[in-house]
Amino acid sequence: MKVLLTNDDGIDAPGLVALEKVFATIADVVVVAPLNPRSGCSHQATTDQPMRVSELESGRYAISGTPVDCVRLGLSQFAPDTDWVVAGINQGGNLGIDVYLSGTVAAAREAAVLRKPAIAFSQYRGPMKQIDWDLTVILAQRVTRQLLTASLDAGAFWNVNFPDMDRQVGTQDIIYCPIDTCPLPLQYETKLGQVYYRGDYHKRQRNAGTDVDICFSGSVSITELRVALSV
């Protein structure tokens, strides 16, 4: 199996290192990731200027572009025989309508557009918390085993969010659930003619049984998302 890995936190992000550990022993891995962090860039693609490509080592490329650029270049130039595209592991959740803002999720979505099965992984981080990537790797390995054998229609992809964890990793429930449609909080503060966003992500409104609720409650949320494809 060949897997193309990417992210939106940049080629040096610890979440990408964690993702490489997840797939190191089960797949032939090619990494194509942004040179610099591109968090929140959504489905932006570069078409009006050149991009710099650096092969840092064999099968590991840094691109001066977006996560979508990385998927496009990865599938067309570096690893056209890819079986799966996997994005992440994002530092922070990508839940609910975050999926429209996230570069991590956009990478998986672009793979689905290009007819490749894909997974977006994100690690939710509670307020004032640090991520223990070793624990995330263990849980990601468990979830990956499930998803690589699960049925996935053309144009569909998985969006996975890991909850805050303590040392009891492995006890978390894995729950397939719908996406939350509640808007993000819209609190702003104006100072000296400038407007600052002050919404509290961790206190966002949520509907019971949706991905935000599941992840915030301590379980792994898995949501199947899809793009519209012609026959």
Q: Which tens digit of pLDDT belongs to each residue from 80-102?
A: 999 999 999 999 999 999 999 99
Residue 201 has pLDDT above 60, yes or no: yes
Instruction: For the domain covering 2-226, report its CATH number.
Output: 3.40.1210.10
Tens digit of pLDDT for each residue in 148-200?
Answer: 998 898 899 999 999 988 656 667 889 999 999 999 999 999 999 999 999 99
Structure tokens at 57: 């080592």
With H, G, I as helix, E, B as strand and everything else as coil, classify residue 220. strand
CA pair distance 180, 142, nearest whole angstrom: 24
Residue 15 has pLDDT above 60, yes or no: yes
Measured in Å, how far apart are the chain's first and last C-alpha atoms? Answer: 26
- pLDDT band at 7; cut points 50, 70, 90: very high
Is the separation of the CB atoms in 39 and 157 below 8 Å? no
Question: Which runs of consecutive H residues, i.e. helices, occur in 83-132?
Answer: 103-113
CA pair distance 154, 139, nearest whole angstrom: 26
CA pair distance 110, 93, nearest whole angstrom: 19
- Residues 121-148, mean pLDDT to the nearest whole number: 92
Q: Is the pTM of this model over 0.85?
A: yes
Do β-strands 156-162 and 220-226 pair in parallel, antiparallel, or remain unpaired?
Answer: antiparallel
| Reduced DSSP (H G I as helix, E B as strand, rest coil) percent helix, strand, coil of the chain, to 5 | 25, 25, 45
- pLDDT band at 229; cut points 50, 70, 90: confident
Q: Which residue has the higher pLDDT, 127 or 102?
A: 102
